[in-house]
Amino acid sequence: MANLVWLQGATDNGCTISFLNTHEPDVAQLIRRLEVNIAFHPTIHPSSGQEAMRSLEPYAREERPLDLLVVEGAVQTGPQGTGEYCIVGERPFKDLVRELAQAAHYVVAIGTCAAFGGMAAAAPNPTDATGLQFYRDQRGGFLGAAYRSKAGLPVVNISGCPAHPDRLVQTVAALLLGKGGAIRLDEYQRPLDFYGYLTHDACPNNEYFEYKQAAEHFTEPGCLFESLGCKGPLTHSDCNRRLWNLHSSKTRAGSPCMGCTEPGFPDEYVPFFETLKNRMGIPRKLPLGTSRNTYLAMAASAKMACPDRLRVEKKKK
């Protein structure tokens, strides 16, 4: 049976809730089929207090094999490197992470906070929060750029706020079935199977985007990128391909993508519901891989070629 330890640091437990909502397999099926022993999880652990904390000791001392360490939430290293801003079981959370990461066969950072710092590391970052192996887009983080688990892999980052449960469950399955070496990671150590796409892919507003027909107000038809803050063309995720709860996504529900899977979230993606523009009225941040001149030329021709069925009539505010 494979032993899994799940730690929670600077987190709102959103990734835990997402994980508990996993479907096909659900959590119980995952445990049975993969023979997983969830040896420690603060939210669902059967014991509490010192009894729960003592259950970690055999894994930290390597008396029992720690097949998988999952870390949810950022590591708060302040004040002055003590880690006392985040205490778990009367110990700095950072000390638990370091001990168990050295013993773990694989390490997974679940959620953008654990991967890159996320909300916990938002400016001015008073608690000195960081991700496990990245601080925002800078390699290093808490464990350092050179860290490798006992299996020889870096931290596998499953980013998102929260992370989609499928991304975690399928990654855990691959690792525990001995397929860790087959997981292709991008430059931020995210599995390409989930982060090799843009949120923009399969968005129901794609036709509006192509013909530069922008919605100016929520609930109106049109693309949300040019005026209403959507970060879909800038964000790596499969949200519109995989969907949430087998049904929907932010853009399918009429809300803009907020860029929550990216290392710079949230600071680099605010405001969430407004697109910042330059003096020419062009979005300051353009779709990935697009130059400003190309965007200007494409936008002008696209608007001229727009079919009547997609044309969005401008309304006064």
Q: Is residue 223 a known part of a binding site?
A: yes
Q: Is residue 161 a known part of a binding site?
A: yes
Residues 196-203 have a mean pLDDT of: 96
Q: Is residue 306 a known part of a binding site?
A: no
Measuring CA to CA, which residue among 4, 24, 9, 2 is closest to residue 74?
Answer: 9
Cβ atoms of 234 and 226 closer than 8 Å: no
Q: What is the pLDDT of residues 86-118, one digit of tens each?
A: 999 999 999 999 999 999 999 999 999 999 999
Tokens found for residue 21: 């909502």
Query: What is the separation, in whole angstroms, between the first and last Cα of the chain?
Result: 61
pLDDT value for 296: 86
Residues 293-311 have a mean pLDDT of: 88
Task: Reply yes or no: is the peptide bond before residue 287 cis, omega within 30 of 0.
Answer: no
Measuring CA to CA, which residue among 256, 259, 240, 260 is closest to residue 248?
Answer: 240
The percent of residues above 70 in pLDDT, for the chain, comes to 99
Residue 313 has pLDDT above 90, yes or no: no
Lowest mean pLDDT, pick from 118-122, 136-140, 217-221, 293-297: 293-297
Measuring CA to CA, which residue among 99, 83, 274, 68 is closest to residue 178?
Answer: 68
Q: Is residue 86 a known part of a binding site?
A: no
Q: Is residue 200 a known part of a binding site?
A: yes
pLDDT top residue among 316 and 180? 180
How far apart, in whole angstroms, are the C-alpha atoms of residue 62 and residue 100?
9
pLDDT value for 24: 80
Tokens found for residue 95: 């000390």
Q: What is the pLDDT of residues 21-52, one digit of tens each?
A: 998 888 999 899 999 999 999 999 989 999 99
How far apart, in whole angstroms, are the C-alpha atoms of residue 229 and residue 209?
13
Phi, psi of 49 (to 5 degrees): 60, -145
Q: Is residue 23 a known part of a binding site?
A: no
Ordered by where they begin, the domains of the chain are 2-195 (3.40.50.700), 197-317 (4.10.480.10)
DSSP letter string, the chain: -EEEEEEE-B--SHHHHHHHT--SS-HHHHHHHHTEEEEE-TTT-SS-HHHHHHTTHHHHTTSS-EEEEEEESBEE--STT--TTSEETTEEHHHHHHHHHHHEEEEEEESHHHHH-GGGG-TT-TT-EE-SSEETTEE-TTT-TT---TTS--PEEE-STT--HHHHHHHHHHHHTT-GGG--B-TTS-BHHHHSSBTTTT-TTHHHHHTT-B-SSTTSSSBSTTTS---GGG-B--HHHH-BTTTB-TGGGT-----TTSTTTTGGG--SSS--B-TTS-BSSPPTT--HHHHHHHHHHHHHH--GGGPPPP---
Residues 232-254 have a mean pLDDT of: 95
Q: Is residue 260 a known part of a binding site?
A: yes
Burial of residue 180 (number of CB atoms within 10 Å: 0-12, 13-18, 19+) = middle
Cβ atoms of 161 and 109 closer than 8 Å: no
Beta bridge partner(s), residue 104: 66
Residue 228 has pLDDT above 90, yes or no: yes
